[in-house]
């Protein structure tokens, strides 16, 4: 019953006691084999005016100053900026950035977008780069 409950709640694997270290090692290796590989096209730096997004160094530079972003904020910004003009639904961003169906409210995306805006927008009252598309989601529109 516990195994079925675990899988029903989203577990990928379940191991019962007693277990061996060899078995755990084999399970970890199997999970790592499923890990998504990053291709060269995904690692290209993005430049929009005075904004540079470097995925290799995981740095965002704005007006020659490093912008301190959390790992999640960086991934979200890179996702949006990698396809300028594309409108992303919140659920799509959750899948793309969080890499799973987020169980909580989709509005968690809004919170992270707000934090990114405070860090990269010159005037948070006049949003320019990350635009809200009402009742849909967000899009990145680079400034010229």
Report pLDDT for 102. 59
50 and 21: one domain? Answer: no
110 and 56: one domain? Answer: yes
12 and 47: one domain? Answer: no
Report pLDDT for 121. 86
Could you give the CA distance from residue 48 to residue 56 in angstroms, rounded to a whole number? 17
Report pLDDT for 94. 87
18 and 59: one domain? Answer: no
47 and 12: one domain? Answer: no
84 and 53: one domain? Answer: yes
136 and 108: one domain? Answer: yes
Could you give the CA distance from residue 57 to residue 11 in angstroms, rounded to a whole number? 32
pTM greater than the 0.75 cutoff: no
Q: Containing H/E element for 22? A: helix 21-33
Tally the domains of the chain.
2
46 and 29: one domain? Answer: no
73 and 135: one domain? Answer: yes
**Residue 62 and residue 54 in contact, taking contact as beta carbons nearer than 8 Å:** no
Report pLDDT for 38. 55
**Residue 10 and residue 99 in contact, taking contact as beta carbons nearer than 8 Å:** no
CATH, residue 128: 1.10.10.10
Burial 109-133 (b: 16+ CB within 10 A, else e): beebbeebbebbbeeeeeeebbeee
24 and 67: one domain? Answer: no
Report pLDDT for 101. 62
Within 8 A by CB and 6+ apart from 83, the residues are 140
Could you give the CA distance from residue 138 to residue 110 in angstroms, rounded to a whole number? 9
Tell me the residue range of the domain where 6 lies: 2-33
**CB-neighbour burial class of residue 97 (10 A; exposed 0-12, middle 13-18, buried 19+):** buried
Mean pLDDT by 10 residues, the chain (144 residues): 78 82 85 64 81 93 94 94 94 84 74 92 78 93 77
Could you give the CA distance from residue 144 to residue 137 in angstroms, rounded to a whole number? 22
Report pLDDT for 52. 95
Report pLDDT for 85. 93
Report pLDDT for 124. 65
**CB-neighbour burial class of residue 74 (10 A; exposed 0-12, middle 13-18, buried 19+):** buried
Could you give the CA distance from residue 51 to residue 66 in angstroms, rounded to a whole number? 10
């Amino acid at each position: 019953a516990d195994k079925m409950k675990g899988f029903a709640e989203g577990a990928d694997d379940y191991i019962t006691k007693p277990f061996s270290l060899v078995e755990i090692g084999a399970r970890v290796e199997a999970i790592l084999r499923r890990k998504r590989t990053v291709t060269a096209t995904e690692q290209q730096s993005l430049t929009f005016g005075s904004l540079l997004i470097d995925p290799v160094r995981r740095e965002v530079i704005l007006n020659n100053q490093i912008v301190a972003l959390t790992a999640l904020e960086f991934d979200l910004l890179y996702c949006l900026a990698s396809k300028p003009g594309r409108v992303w639904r919140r659920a799509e961003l959750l899948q793309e950035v969080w890499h799973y169906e987020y169980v909580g409210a989709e509005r968690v995306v809004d919170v992270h977008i707000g934090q990114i805006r405070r860090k990269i927008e010159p005037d948070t009252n006049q949003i320019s780069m990350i635009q809200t598309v009402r009742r849909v989601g967000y899009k990145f529109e680079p400034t010229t």
